[in-house]
Amino acid sequence: MSQPFTVFIIEDDMHLQKMLIDFFHDKFPDIQIKTFLTGEQALLHLGENTHLVILDYFLNLHDEHALDGLAILARIRELNKSIRVVLFTGQSDPEVAAQAIKMGAYDYVAKNAQSFEKLEAVIAHLKRHFVIETPAFNKKLFTILLIGILLIAASFFLASR
């Protein structure tokens, strides 16, 4: 059985969290979504086979001492360089966008009328490039390897005669 594509949403606006969950479940009913109000909460769960993190920039709505999105991005990169992180924010400062990309963010999406569609495109792209359906992939790979081993064994057998 394959692992579900897992998305962490780190967003302190609970209304926006709910909108994202509803939108993604409508577009991708097979993905697993976990939500967090702060990045610090999400870091505790980062080892749970996370494929994508959607990360807000300002995360201090419920906890004034919560780290901002760039600080959380830095911590994610320290813990796991392969997880894709999209900074999803109302912060439309080009310097913040450039810093996020420089720090290893996969993408930067400004919150606007097209932002949900942009996130949908990111998830669709990542799902196509991650090998999620591993049983079919492994069966094909196993068959190819087995044929290769049999051909090598047969050539050694015939060469030793």
- The predicted pLDDT at position 134 comes to 44
Residues 46-82: tens digit of each pLDDT: 888 889 999 999 988 888 889 999 999 999 999 998 8
- The predicted pLDDT at position 133 comes to 43
Element at 9 (helix H, strand E): strand 6-10
- The predicted pLDDT at position 132 comes to 45
Q: Which residues of the chain have pLDDT under 50?
A: 1, 132-136
- The predicted pLDDT at position 138 comes to 56
- The predicted pLDDT at position 1 comes to 44
- The predicted pLDDT at position 139 comes to 60
- The predicted pLDDT at position 7 comes to 94
**CB 71, CB 39: distance < 8 Å:** yes
CA-CA distance, 143 to 47, in Å (whole number)?
32
- The predicted pLDDT at position 129 comes to 81
CA-CA distance, 125 to 130, in Å (whole number)?
9
- What is the β-pairing status of strands 6-10 and 107-110? unpaired
- The predicted pLDDT at position 150 comes to 76
Half-sphere exposure of 3 (CA within 13 A, CB side): 11
- The predicted pLDDT at position 152 comes to 80
- The predicted pLDDT at position 47 comes to 82
